[in-house]
Amino acid sequence: MRFAEALRRPGLAAIAEIKRRSPSAGDLRPDADPAELAPAFERAGAAAVSVLVEERFGGTVDDLRAARAAADLPLLAKGFFSTPEQLRELREAGADAVLLLLRDLDDPTTLSIMQTAQELGMDALVEAHDDAELRRAVELDAEVIGVNARDLSTFHIDRRAQLELVSQAPVDRVVVAESAIASRAQGAEAELAGAQAILVGSTLMRASDPAAKLAELISRPLVKVCGLTREEDVAVAADAGADMAGFIQVDSSPRKADGVLPVPETMLSVSVHVGEAANDGADLVQVYERDPRKLRGRDAVLMREGRPVAWVLDLPWEEDDPEHLQRAARTNGRVMLAGRLGPDNVADAIAKVRPWAVDAASRLEAAPGIKDPNKVRAYVEAARC
């Protein structure tokens, strides 16, 4: 179907949600106009648009019709649906997919609605928020499974539990991480856990420019500042807009950090090791090959909970390679590009490689292990251009 196919495209897909209010947060954007927002989200790179059609969210089916008339991308009708008859109205209004909440539906009802959706040429986003509901979604053979970080009964948000459920979902399903995503790092964390897509609503509705905020959330490459040893340098990197903070845990390195320092929610922490990883509390672990003749080998693997999630393509230690960028550009999968990157060359490297992330350390320093704030800001700004 159109909706599922859009979410299966390479990279992290985004479902941008239009909602005027939230039961937990109150008014978000009372004057939200689906006829304006849907095409703006389409231009900003959304894979699909979710439209709230429930009165308690300030929406109606007419909002779905307005979005359909203004945009071509797949539309998800979001509400509390329990009968096949509701789907027919939604399909006539332009919906390509419908949300089904396992919290509110038993298995026979869910299966009946899924079958009706298929007959109408619609997909179903089957939403789970705990282990039992995830198992039900899998057993019902749902192709698209949403994992909500928010408990709809208590409105409590638990991103750790969400990411754990995302990582448990079968790899042949389309997994959507829903709620509580407000930064590139949080979206990337869901991606690395196994989500093919994120659904973002409140963050966009609160933004002064919702489409620009969406483009920011899904923009790549991610930007990593490595070799951090001081909390004040972490703060500078975060303020500059970096997505990852790297802490080297190698005794012989001049940039060895005293453990993994705290990072804000807008960043992911990365501990860097040579030879083997250690469980030191970082969000991600970067492990370089061991080379007895040098501080480290050339390349590294980025890991999440022991599972490889990206490849770090670096220069040989204290050596150069004129084919470095071409080699990185030929590498399949998520590539984090490293190797003496700085404010003056990172934009050119990105243009040639199109990496998933970039990583810089030594060329952002005033002294080994001490960052130069101006260089950090210039590097992040250049990487974003």
Q: What are the catalytic residues?
A: 17, 19, 78, 127, 148, 178-179
The β-bridge partners of 285 are 271, 303
SS3 195: coil
Contact call for residues 3 and 48 (beta carbons, < 8 A): yes
The rounded distance, in Å, linking the Cα atoms of 172 and 147 is: 15
Contact call for residues 113 and 100 (beta carbons, < 8 A): yes
Contact call for residues 51 and 67 (beta carbons, < 8 A): yes
The token pair that represents 262 in the structure block: 């705290």
Using the structure block, give the residue that is written with the tokens 């985004």: 14
The rounded distance, in Å, linking the Cα atoms of 49 and 243 is: 25
Contact call for residues 28 and 20 (beta carbons, < 8 A): yes
Contact call for residues 7 and 177 (beta carbons, < 8 A): no
